[in-house]
Amino acid sequence: MELSRRRFAVLGTGVAAGTALGPGQVPGTAAAEEPAAAPAVTPAGTGAGTAHSVTFDPYSLIVDGARLPVWSGEFHPFRLPSPSLWRDVLQKFKASGYSAVSIYVAWNYHSPAPGVYDFTGVRDLGAMLDMAAETGLFVIVRPGPYINAEVDAGGYPGWLTATAGRARTDDPTYLGHVDEWLTAVDAVVAPRQYTNGGGTVLLYQLENEYASHITDGTGARYMAHLYGKVRADGIEVPLFHNDKGRNGYWVPGSFSTGGETGRYLYAFDGYPSPTGTPVDWGYFGPGGTKGGSTASPGTPGFLAEFGGGWFDCWGGAEFNGQGYAGARSSRDAVYERRAYLTNLANGIKLQNVYMTFGGTSWGWLPAPVVYTSYDYGAAIDEARNLTSKITPMKQIGHMLTAVPDLGRLDRAADVTAADPSVKVYHLVNSETSAHAYLIRNDTGTERSTTLPLTTADGGSVTVAVRAVARDAKVLLTGIAAGSRTLRWTTAQPMTQDTIGRQDVAVLVGRPGDPVDLALECAAEPRTTVLDGAAVASYDAGAGLLRITATLSGLTRLLISGGGTDTPLLLLLADDTASAQLWRYDTPSGPVLVRGPALVRTAQAAGATLHLTGDTTADSDLEVWAPRGIDTVFWNRSKVAVTGTSSGSLAARDKLAGPPQITLPALTGWRRAAENPESAPDFDDSAWTVADKATSFSTTKVPAGGPVLFADDYGFHYGDVWYRATWTGPVDAANIALAYQTGTQGALMAWLDGAPLGTHRMPVPTSSQATTGTWAATATFALPAAAAGDGTHVLAVLVRRMAHEEDGGGSDSHKSARGLVSAAFTPAGATAAPAPTWRLQGAAATMDPARGPMNTGGLYGERNGWHLPALDDSAWQPVVFPYTDTRQGVAWYRTSFRLTIPHDVDASLGLTLTDDPARAYRAQIFLNGWNIGQYINDVGPQHTFVLPAGLLDPHGRNTLALAVLTDGTDPAGPGTVTLTAMGTAAGGTQVDLVPTYDTV
């Protein structure tokens, strides 16, 4: 046995750790008073021990006295097992206008055994929270204990499935385990709260969509226990629960908070269908009429999860086999915009987009309802690319900061568009007199109509609007554009501020949208159209500069004088142009950048602005920077810039895009067959004897036993082998093996070394098919040999996939996995022999880096065949496609060297393709990490992301495929290639994830 340690190695020359902080927090009014419409806050940095206050009123969260409209994206660090890439994703969130990131913390990911909690390596929650703080994002922490989340057992540890005590109740045994978990996770979270200055943790969720025991007292006692425990652990930020729909469950006062008031929020979740009229739950807030709004009048509208995509199932029925491209096209940018703006119009001031980056359910993480990829059709795809869905997210996120009036809206008098099929929501900020109009076209055809707007001076104007089919937009009156006031605008504001010597306001919309806006100007200003086409006219009587244009690319107007000293640069951007705009705050002032595919950080130092970011093609670089800045660096290289008439600094030459990446062909495969366990003379004496008679499982133990459920013997993830040994002939025609797995489970059996056959669970019809198909009986005809005297050995391999989630609170995660019973049928004249059963799952020695969900009980897994350090030189060289016709398990290994340039972020995948008639499946190991399961004849996933950090972009990598073939038809790996899934010049620094391999 040789112990080799793969050390942390600095790989990239990308962005150095420790990135720009948010700006100093803009203080609001005193907390005791109603907060004024102050600019929304962003995290003020951490580590200084500065205490902050996080409170709320019926309108919004209030942070240090200023309103914070929370615009959050969901990200699961456990679905990206490479801590360096957490920073990449978090920077993409920040760049895309999110103010917060919401994370589940999965109990099973951190706890391999009772009393054992691991927060190191890919499980380093503290490091993740620190990165979020560095990046300037608030964090919403959701540690369950139950999380659902399409993970094995809904996040419950495997070991919990074999314990007494009804989960999701106040059962003391269960609560004992829960407290152990909360103690461990809270010890990481508590020091990193925004309130104590240690981090940016802003809110904390109790449980998840808990809809059980609403009325019988059990639920209330359970929730009260969680509340008290979390508070006792030092969590002082507001707590909340996410109601599964706007039912009004677990509103403040519905359970005991130990006499404490004002630190608990009501929230709910929504996953509306992409077809039909957008869901409208009614107004949440003062005057609201439905469900949660009236049940919780003292808390602001809070959508703890709103579907930013949806998940797919084995076989791909959810999206007609298109995989997550289907999710991204049915829930596209228009769907997102329409939904989130409708939510805003309905008084929702805290929104979390589930998922914003979905990632990968690697290893044995996926729940039965999903396969490996958890891409989710999210705005950032599994390969970490920004998709077209990010544009509305960015526009809305920045708008919520740039238009503080949106933080305190009430419903106002109904307004009807001239075309009544265009729906209008009218809201007003009674303090600033700003009015907001959400217009939405629920029809399938574009509409052009007119609409009367009320202006802050009490007047009215009728404007023309274009309502794109099934789309939505916001029109506003009485809002700021730098030091001026926009009397009205039909283009949606994205950002505005004083940048350098001028004000800059960005207004956005769809290409072709007519823009009509009016600026209050005491005297006629000088207006210059710098770029594009626009018409400006001054109405001296009204004191208004009226501008009309049609959105096309980027239109620029410079407005100077007119009674205001600071000139205003108006940038009218269509969606494509706005996708290239990046707004940052530095201690020297705000920065706006145009051109690159991404800006990650912006730091001002003296006269120099340091920018880091990505280009995906040769790109412009144009910068609006704080006063005094005349020098620009891009990714640590000085850029030659010239001043422009727009008041910006523009690069003389384009920034280079990434080079063409050449990927090696995967050759040099070697093969070794295994499953020695099927042979009659295999030594199983060290295996666990199945000798239990009782179980805590919800599955009934068969009469006469023994318990065969894998979890009862400590085998919680991956494959399980069983061997039954008996002496004497069997007087029966068949052996009937009842077994349970998650979706796509399978069973293979051998008698005395000869294959009996393979049985598989059916392919689900949709991701909603959550029950009923994962228990089956495999009946095999017994060969004549079974009727012979002597010792017989039945060997059974069960691919048991995943534990069920427990969404219904019925302990369904305790449904048995593995074999349930074995019977000789029909019963013969002589009594059937009583076999001795032994079983074996994953090796007891846990892989400390990759964790317990990385491997199951295959012979190769138990003996390190997945690990890079294994010497496979004696294995048989093979060429793909390779045809295997035996029932059982064979491994294929190769290695390849990558030479990705150091300043390039190449997101790579592994693509497997073959004739779909060939029945085989492969567990894919990259450098020992189980990065997914491929089922050739089921799909739909063919490409598996190889995350940098597990993958060495500048060195040698090892692939191992553990392939199960059923022996019924020629099968075996077909074509296996590396795929470039997205390449950018720039990227973040990537450190290899350390491992401690023993082979």
What whole-number distance in Å separates Cα of residue 899 and Cα of residue 607?
Answer: 37
Buried b (16+ CB within 10 A) or exposed e, 344-363: bbbbbbbbbbbbbbbbbbbb
Among 72, 208, 502, 941, binds ligand GAL (CB under 6 A): 208
CA 649, distance to chain mean position in Å, is: 36
Asked if residue 149 binds ligand GAL (CB under 6 A), the reply is: yes
Least distance between ligand GAL and beta carbon 211 (Å): 10
- Give the three-state DSSP class for 170: coil
Among 64, 130, 134, 150, binds ligand GAL (CB under 6 A): 150
DSSP 901: -
Least distance between ligand GAL and beta carbon 690 (Å): 34
Beta bridge partners of 749: 757, 796
Minimum CB distance to ligand GAL smaller for 148 or for 740? 148
Contact 745, 774 (CB under 8 A): yes
Least distance between ligand GAL and beta carbon 310 (Å): 7
SS (H, E, C) 679-694: CCCCCCCCCEECCCCC
Minimum CB distance to ligand GAL smaller for 74 or for 903? 74
Residues numbered 543-562 forming contacts with ligand GAL, rule: CB under 6 A: none
Stretch that binds ligand GAL, among 76-84, 145-153, 513-521, 977-985 (CB under 6 A): 145-153
Q: What is the C-alpha R_g of the chain?
A: 30
Specify the residue for token string 């004992």: 176
382 is catalytic: no
- Give the three-state DSSP class for 405: helix
Q: Which helix (H) or strand (E) holds 335?
A: helix 333-345
Phi-psi region at 617: left, alpha or beta (left = phi > 0; alpha = psi -120 to 50): beta
What whole-number distance in Å separates Cα of residue 955 and Cα of residue 203?
Answer: 41
Least distance between ligand GAL and beta carbon 370 (Å): 9
Catalytic residue among 207, 209, 677, 861: 209
Contact 155, 106 (CB under 8 A): yes
Minimum CB distance to ligand GAL smaller for 78 or for 750? 78
Stretch that binds ligand GAL, among 148-156, 343-351, 424-432, 867-875 (CB under 6 A): 148-156
Least distance between ligand GAL and beta carbon 361 (Å): 11
> In the numeric block, which tokens belong to residue 985?
């010049």
Minimum CB distance to ligand GAL smaller for 271 or for 538? 271
Among 305, 312, 382, 674, binds ligand GAL (CB under 6 A): 305
CA 128, distance to chain mean position in Å, is: 14
Stretch that binds ligand GAL, among 141-149, 587-595, 707-715, 934-942 (CB under 6 A): 141-149
User: Hey, which bits of 162-251 come out as E strands?
Assistant: 201-205, 239-243
Asked if residue 209 binds ligand GAL (CB under 6 A), the reply is: yes
The counts of H helices and E strands in the chain are: 11, 55
Least distance between ligand GAL and beta carbon 637 (Å): 42
Antiparallel, parallel or unpaired: β 70-75 and 435-441: unpaired
What whole-number distance in Å separates Cα of residue 803 and Cα of residue 212?
Answer: 20
Asked if residue 72 binds ligand GAL (CB under 6 A), the reply is: no
Asked if residue 269 binds ligand GAL (CB under 6 A), the reply is: yes
Minimum CB distance to ligand GAL smaller for 312 or for 684? 312
Antiparallel, parallel or unpaired: β 447-454 and 460-467: antiparallel
What whole-number distance in Å separates Cα of residue 365 and Cα of residue 803?
Answer: 10
Least distance between ligand GAL and beta carbon 807 (Å): 7
Asked if residue 311 binds ligand GAL (CB under 6 A), the reply is: yes
CB atoms within 10 A of CB 844: 9
Catalytic residue among 305, 674, 805, 861: 305
Number of residues located near ligand GAL, criterion CB under 6 A: 10
Per DSSP, helices labelled H in 74-143 are: 83-95, 107-110, 125-135
Contact 520, 482 (CB under 8 A): no
Minimum CB distance to ligand GAL smaller for 156 or for 722? 156
Minimum CB distance to ligand GAL smaller for 59 or for 311? 311
Asked if residue 56 binds ligand GAL (CB under 6 A), the reply is: no
- With 0-12 / 13-18 / 19 or more C-beta atoms within 10 angstroms meaning exposed / middle / buried, residue 734 is middle
Minimum CB distance to ligand GAL smaller for 318 or for 520? 318
Q: Site map for ligand GAL, 630-669, x if CB under 6 A?
A: ----------------------------------------
Asked if residue 312 binds ligand GAL (CB under 6 A), the reply is: no
Minimum CB distance to ligand GAL smaller for 148 or for 495? 148
Least distance between ligand GAL and beta carbon 242 (Å): 6
Least distance between ligand GAL and beta carbon 765 (Å): 18
Stretch that binds ligand GAL, among 144-152, 411-419, 572-580, 964-972 (CB under 6 A): 144-152
Minimum CB distance to ligand GAL smaller for 317 or for 542? 317
305 is catalytic: yes
What whole-number distance in Å separates Cα of residue 697 and Cα of residue 684?
Answer: 26
Least distance between ligand GAL and beta carbon 366 (Å): 12
Which of 428, 510, 505, 444 is closest to 473 using CA atoms?
Answer: 510
Residue closest to ligand GAL, measured at CB: 148
Binding site for ligand GAL (CB under 6 A): 147-150, 208-209, 244, 269, 305, 311
- Residues with catalytic function: 209, 305
